[in-house]
C-alpha cells in the first residue's frame, strides 16, 4: 500500500503530509501480529522497504530507531541528551521521557530539530551531555576525526555516545579522488556519503580520540514481532572517567 503510494505520489508531498497520510495507510495494516514499540500500533505486518528494512505503518519508524528506543528507554531519566538528525517518532518519545534536558540538532535542516549545530565545532559546553545519539552522521563528514573529538569534548566523563553508520567488512573505504555525487553514490552507496566504515575501522578512530568502546551486536529477530529484520551493530563510545 505505502510502497504503491510512493510510486505514484512525489516523496516531498508524502513527507509534507505524512501526519495525514500515515493514519490512513495504517488502516490497511491493522492487526495483532506485530507491534511498534515507539507508537504502540498493532499491525498485521510491517511495511517492507526496498533495503530489506521494516517500517511501522502508523508512525513510519525504521527498525534501528525502534531498537535504539529499547536501549534508551530505561536510561533516560535525569540525563542530559543530545540527538543528531533525530527521527521524528523516536524524538517525540525521548521528549516525553524524564530527561534533565533533551536537545535535538540537524545541520542539514532535513529533520525537525531545536538547533543547527556544526559537528566540527559544536556550540555546546565541555562535558555537558550524559548521552549523545549520533546515528548515520559520521559517514557524511569529511573531517570525521575532528567530529569525534568534538563529541568527546562535550560528553561528561562516563557519558556515552551511541553511534551507527552503514558498515562493510574489512577496512574503511575512503577515496580522496571521489568528489561528485554520482561517484559517491557508486562508491559509497549514497550521493552525500564520503566513506564506508567497517566496525573495526570506526572503533580504531574513536579510540584514537580517547573513547572506550563497547559493541552491541544484535541478531535478526526470530519472532519478527518488533520488525528487527536485520542484524545490527551499535557502537557505544564511552568517555572514560
Q: Which residues bind to Zn ion, rule: CB under 5 A?
A: 36, 38-39, 41, 56, 58-59, 61
Nearest distance from residue 217's CB to Zn ion, in Å? Answer: 25
Nearest distance from residue 3's CB to Zn ion, in Å? Answer: 17
Query: Cβ closer to Zn ion: 94 or 151?
Result: 94
Consecutive H or E run containing 205:
helix 199-208
Q: Are 235 and 162 in contact (CB under 8 A)?
A: yes
Nearest distance from residue 213's CB to Zn ion, in Å? Answer: 31
Query: Cβ closer to Zn ion: 69 or 162?
Result: 69
Surface-to-core class of residue 158, CB atoms within 10 Å of its CB (0-12 exposed, 13-18 middle, 19+ buried): exposed
Q: Is 78 left (phi over 0), alpha (psi -120 to 50) or beta?
A: left
Alpha helices in 10-124 (DSSP H): 11-16, 18-27, 63-72, 88-96
Query: Cβ closer to Zn ion: 34 or 148?
Result: 34
Place of cell 573531517: 143
Q: Pairing state of beta strands 155-164 and 80-84?
A: unpaired
Nearest distance from residue 42's CB to Zn ion, in Å? Answer: 10
Query: Cβ closer to Zn ion: 72 or 209?
Result: 72
Measured in degrees and rounded to the nearest 5, phi and psi for residue 163 equal -125, 135
Nearest distance from residue 70's CB to Zn ion, in Å? Answer: 13
Bridge partners (DSSP) of residue 104 are 83
Place of cell 538528525: 85
Query: Cβ closer to Zn ion: 37 or 104?
Result: 37
Nearest distance from residue 179's CB to Zn ion, in Å? Answer: 39
Q: Are 199 and 235 in contact (CB under 8 A)?
A: yes
Query: Cβ closer to Zn ion: 36 or 209?
Result: 36
Amino acid at each position: 500500500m505505502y510502497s504503491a503510494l510512493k510510486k505514484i505520489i512525489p516523496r516531498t508531498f508524502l513527507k509534507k503530509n505524512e501526519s495525514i497520510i500515515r493514519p490512513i495507510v495504517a488502516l490497511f495494516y491493522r492487526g495483532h501480529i506485530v507491534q511498534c514499540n515507539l507508537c504502540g500500533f498493532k499491525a498485521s505486518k510491517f511495511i517492507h522497504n526496498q533495503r530489506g528494512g521494516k517500517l511501522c505503518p502508523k508512525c513510519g519508524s525504521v527498525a534501528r530507531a525502534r531498537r535504539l528506543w529499547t536501549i534508551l528507554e530505561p536510561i533516560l531519566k535525569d540525563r542530559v541528551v543530545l540527538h543528531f538528525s533525530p527521527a521524528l517518532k523516536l524524538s517525540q518519545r525521548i521528549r516525553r521521557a524524564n530527561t534533565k534536558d533533551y536537545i535535538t540538532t540537524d545541520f542539514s535542516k532535513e529533520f525537525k530539530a531545536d538547533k543547527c549545530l556544526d559537528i566540527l565545532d559544536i556550540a555546546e559546553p565541555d562535558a555537558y551531555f550524559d548521552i549523545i545519539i549520533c546515528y548515520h552522521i559520521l559517514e557524511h563528514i569529511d573531517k570525521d576525526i575532528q567530529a569525534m573529538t568534538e563529541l568527546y569534548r562535550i560528553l561528561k566523563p562516563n557519558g556515552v555516545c551511541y553511534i551507527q553508520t552503514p558498515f562493510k567488512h574489512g577496512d574503511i573505504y575512503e577515496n580522496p579522488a571521489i568528489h561528485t555525487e554520482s561517484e559517491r553514490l557508486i562508491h559509497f552507496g549514497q550521493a552525500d556519503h564520503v566513506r564506508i566504515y567497517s566496525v573495526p575501522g570506526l572503533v580504531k578512530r574513536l579510540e584514537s580520540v580517547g573513547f572506550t568502546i563497547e559493541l552491541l551486536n544484535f541478531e535478526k529477530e526470530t519472532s519478527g514481532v518488533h520488525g528487527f529484520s536485520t542484524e545490527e551493530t551499535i557502537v557505544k563510545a564511552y568517555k572514560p572517567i
